[in-house]
Structure 1
Amino acid sequence: MIDLDNTDITGIHTPDPLRYAFKRKGGAHSGGGAVPIPASDTQMRLNQALSFSTPSAGARCLYVHVPFCRVRCTYCNFFQYASSKKMIDEYFEALVIELERKAAQPWTQAAPFHAVYIGGGTPTDLSAEQLEQLGKLIHQYFPLTPDCELTLEGRINRFGADKFESALEGGFNRFSFGIQSFDTKVRRAAKRLDDGDAAMRRIQDLVAYNSAPIVIDLLFGLPHQTLDVWQRDLDGYRESGAHGVDLYQLIDMQGLPMQQMVEVGKLPAPADTPTKATMYEMGVNYMAQHHQRRLSCNHWAKDNRERSIYNSLAKTTAEVLPLGAGAGGNVGGLQMMQMRDMAQYIDSVKAGQYPVAMLMQGTGNKALTNGIRAAFDRGVLAREALNRNAGWDCYSAAMPLFEKWQTNGLVKVSQDYLSLTLAGEFWNVKLAQNLINTVSELDKQRQAA
């Protein structure tokens, strides 16, 4: 029993599902439910989880958060602290303490990590010495797979040869830079540092080292970013020589500086959903035209050096051990968000506690939820995998929804596979979340019957 009249679940029947199947996109990621754990039990529950020494069967990743930026981009919801040497040094000292403590736990040592991601914020605001030290500490204290991917995220601004070479010396083997656009007007409106030409030259310089994959993010839907500008941004990816690219859309500016600037007339409105759908279509067609290897609905690689292991695992199926103020992760069925307040984080670490502000117990079938997320991220859902994760034939039970999606131009369905169309790829997070919710409800109905 599926509510096939609810167009927020099924989408609407339209000649143009890419642009109009749903009113708007929701969040950037899909997921399952969780129940808050009382703050009084946080330390005990984390101790129990990290004391578990039997290795899990799935992949695991490490995420390290560096919550500093010199400038807050107008579209960004992750800004925490303005960069200052004194604050960064104090933070780094506490981060090393947390790193060493968590690395020593039985859970951490029970199995190797497949990918490490240093995110932010702007991790490249760390000094050259700190970048090298952080990489070496991770290699020293954490069990890593032989082909472990260690990604350093950041800006090209002030990321000179000294920092790049120190990061390489520390063992980082992948670098991701938020270019967003190569157009200077678009970049300035978004409060990105450096003109577009400078961003292009710096990426080309880093690629010329031939020492590690260089990956860039491009963001579509920004103010001043017309279709012509977006086409030049796509051309800029190939001109830069980068080994891979993520094409992300501007989703929601609610409460962000961009919204305030648009409301007072300092910026033109960003692109609406149909225009962003057109930009996505341009990007997909461009990558196919130039034979870029597709890794997900939003990520492409120029060659085999770019693997995007962290993104393919952490956003879908892996357990993620978080480090740093504002980092999020999941271990042993527990979902957690660490303290964002810098003083609270440092005090908690120095007191020998886990600096967690919110701990939740995941609900439902984690394997099923993660499997759906991973499948829709890739663009194809297999009956066998879905049913194996669910423990029953939910593929057949969900067939009325699949057929409705097919009628609405979002998927192509067969006996064994559900494949996303271009429209489905654009709306993949929405579809994944709708299927997660639908299968959960169908399972309740099945058990009740």
Structure 2
Amino acid sequence: MKLDQYLQELTAAKREVLLGRDTADPLHEAFASKRVVHAGLIGGPIPQAEQQRAYQKALGRPADLNRQHALYIHIPFCQTKCLYCGFYQNASRQDVEDAYVKALLGEIQVEAKSSQMEKTAIDCVFIGGGTPTSLSAANAAALLKTIQQSFKLTQNCEVTLEGRIHDLVPEKIETWLQYGVNRISLGVQSFDTTLRQRIGRIDTREEVLKRLQLLKSYDVTVIVDLIYGLPGQTMDMWMRDVQTLAEADVDGMDLYQLNIFPGGPLDKAVKNGVVPPCADIGGQADMYVAARDYLLSEGVERLSLCHWRRTKRERSLYNTMAKAGADVYAFGCGAGGHFGGISWMNQRNLTDYQQDWEKGQKPIMMAGHQVEAELGRVCDGIISDLEKGFVDFRRLLIADSRLEEVEQVLSLWQERGLLVEDLGIYRLTRSGEFWYISLTQSLVECVQVLLDEEAEAPAEEINGRTTDALDEVLAEMLPEANAAKRQELASKIPAAVRMMLRRSSKEKLRNMLAGMPAAMREKMLAKAGV
């Protein structure tokens, strides 16, 4: 049995990473840590010299009409840098913003005429960041008009603008709504004034509630994000936030677990004593369960394990579709998407992005192949189902009889208190819900072992460890760097890219790192202190 043999051959440490721990306290101890930020698989990397050709080839083919299609547009500006954020790129400045929007509109207009996109129905649009609401009213209007004019949006297309409370002023709100925005997602993170200011948010609790009330006076769907596990956040503070949000007149809410990026500003601030400690993984588990139980008792409807709604206006289409295998057409500095067999991430550096666009090429930083179609469909189904709290083992058997071996993993997790089974449907327990990202990542890796003949699925931590091959190549390039420094350098590589690198041979890794733009490589090395 292929999966059984693979599991037996893993070291004890790797087996624990993949399958978790056998413990009497699964809520707090099922895994050592959250395995990944977002679960999924990525195929092998596309060499830099071939990336433009591969992208243009995919762009020249008609869209897959069996899939749904979404737009993701990235606005890489923020007025302030929040302590916890791993996505901050550039401070807001009007002249820089104007130049960026000009390049962004050009990128959109050219690709919208392609065979892939020209007549393709777009089911949802997500404008993320950064802080998209920081755009001036004029630039927001120009972007939204370009989207409306360039693409075939469906009649019920969900158009989401992500942002912050501080930007909620009538001039901007009216501009957003005039040009098609029908859903606004706000990163409040906490209503507690002291906690907000500790993490770099601007407005007080009173101002947040006042501006939320202003926004709700308009005809638009309003979503609020909260984070649990923030520095110094107690259970009482967290539950006051949840109760405030449940009582507020908003349509939906997202409750997110804090991710601490190694070497990032929050990690350094905690280690240096600048801010109080964050909740450990056990404390985060308790906060998740407390909020979950409270919202269910209040009759708030759960769309997925993180997403809740109070009214039927909230559909959360982008989150749902992106995790169910929809094609995502991505534009802007730092945006990432996938369609036509490729996945890619645009340049994260604003200068590199604009220079690439001025050269008339897609501003790609990294690109890889999507996994084989059958494997992708199966894994998309698993990811989508587990977002809703279950695994349909019957559906897996219908998809491919080889997946029968997956039952040994599901049964193991059932024995450990993470799942309960009923007629082939494995449902997450409360403990399983908290660990669902880790369970999802591990399950799709097991499926990859069974369906991909070349798969090695090395059960490694995405956040904190690297593969032997990558470490060996870094050692060749940087003979003066010790193992700790090489590991720190690898941690600077975006998680999605690290997932792609896991499947690369040493030769491909050598070529990729050697072909990386010098400025990017030097910046990575400098951040790692090498």
TM-score normalised per structure 1: 0.95
CA shift for structure 1 position 384 = 4.0
Partner of 1:235: 243
Q: Superposition pairs for residues 26-105 of structure 1, below 5 Å?
A: 26-105=35-114
Which consecutive aligned stretches of 4+ in structure 1 deviate over 4 angstroms post-superposition?
444-447
Q: Deviations over 1:175-227 (max 9, x none)?
A: 00000000011111111111122112111221122x11100100000012100
Q: Deviations over 1:299-345 (max 9, x none)?
A: 10001000000011113411111100000010111000001121221
CA distance 1:424–1:46, shift in 2 (3 Å): same
Partner of 2:395: 385
Conservation of the 8 A alpha-carbon contact between 1:132 and 1:168: no
Q: Deviations over 1:79-117 (max 9, x none)?
A: 111000010000001111011011111101242111100
Q: Deviations over 1:354-383 (max 9, x none)?
A: 111111112342112211111111111223
Partner of 1:369: 379
Conservation of the 8 A alpha-carbon contact between 1:37 and 1:360: yes
Partner of 2:115: 106
CA shift for structure 1 position 445 = 7.8
**In 2, Cα distance between the equivalents of 1:295 and 1:231?**
20
Q: Deviations over 1:140-162 (max 9, x none)?
A: 11111211100000111133111
Partner of 2:30: 21
Structure 2: segments with no counterpart, 5+ residues: 456-530
More displaced, 303-312 or 152-161?
A: 152-161
**In 2, Cα distance between the equivalents of 1:284 and 1:204?**
25
Alignment partner of 1:279 is 2:287: yes
Q: Superposition pairs for residues 139-288 of structure 1, below 5 Å?
A: 139-209=148-218, 211-288=219-296
**In 2, Cα distance between the equivalents of 1:234 and 1:248?**
12
* Secondary structure of the corresponding residue to residue 153 of structure 1: strand
What code does the residue aligned with 1:323 have? F
RMSD: 1.7
More displaced, 91-100 or 378-387?
A: 378-387
CA shift for structure 1 position 351 = 2.5
**In 2, Cα distance between the equivalents of 1:252 and 1:258?**
7
**In 2, Cα distance between the equivalents of 1:133 and 1:391?**
48
Q: Superposition pairs for residues 343-422 of structure 1, below 5 Å?
A: 343-364=351-372, 365-388=375-398, 390-394=399-403, 396-422=404-430
Alignment partner of 1:11 is 2:20: yes
**In 2, Cα distance between the equivalents of 1:50 and 1:387?**
34
CA distance 1:317–1:444, shift in 2 (3 Å): closer
**In 2, Cα distance between the equivalents of 1:134 and 1:346?**
17
CA shift for structure 1 position 400 = 1.3
* Secondary structure of the corresponding residue to residue 144 of structure 1: strand
Alignment partner of 1:431 is 2:424: no
Structure 1: segments with no counterpart, 5+ residues: none
Conservation of the 8 A alpha-carbon contact between 2:246 and 2:295: no
* Secondary structure of the corresponding residue to residue 303 of structure 1: coil
Conservation of the 8 A alpha-carbon contact between 2:52 and 2:361: yes
CA distance 1:446–1:166, shift in 2 (3 Å): closer
What code does the residue aligned with 1:150 have? V
Percent sequence identity is: 36
* Secondary structure of the corresponding residue to residue 214 of structure 1: strand
What code does the residue aligned with 2:45 have? P
More displaced, 58-67 or 191-200?
A: 191-200
**In 1, Cα distance between the equivalents of 2:423 and 2:178?**
51
What code does the residue aligned with 1:376 have? L
* Secondary structure of the corresponding residue to residue 61 of structure 1: strand
Alignment partner of 1:325 is 2:333: yes
**In 2, Cα distance between the equivalents of 1:446 and 1:131?**
46
Conservation of the 8 A alpha-carbon contact between 2:260 and 2:266: no
Counterpart pick for 1:340 among 341, 348, 373: 348
* Secondary structure of the corresponding residue to residue 15 of structure 1: coil
**In 2, Cα distance between the equivalents of 1:25 and 1:282?**
19
* Secondary structure of the corresponding residue to residue 402 of structure 1: helix
What code does the residue aligned with 2:121 have? P
Conservation of the 8 A alpha-carbon contact between 2:44 and 2:368: yes
What code does the residue aligned with 1:124 have? T
CA shift for structure 1 position 132 = 2.1
CA shift for structure 1 position 70 = 1.2
**In 2, Cα distance between the equivalents of 1:376 and 1:286?**
21
What code does the residue aligned with 1:382 have? D
**In 1, Cα distance between the equivalents of 2:313 and 2:63?**
33
**In 2, Cα distance between the equivalents of 1:146 and 1:361?**
32
CA distance 1:142–1:61, shift in 2 (3 Å): same
Conservation of the 8 A alpha-carbon contact between 2:402 and 2:451: no
Alignment partner of 1:306 is 2:309: no
Conservation of the 8 A alpha-carbon contact between 1:14 and 1:21: yes
**In 2, Cα distance between the equivalents of 1:176 and 1:158?**
12
Q: Deviations over 1:365-408 (max 9, x none)?
A: 211221111111111122343344x43351x3211111110010
TM-score normalised per structure 2: 0.81
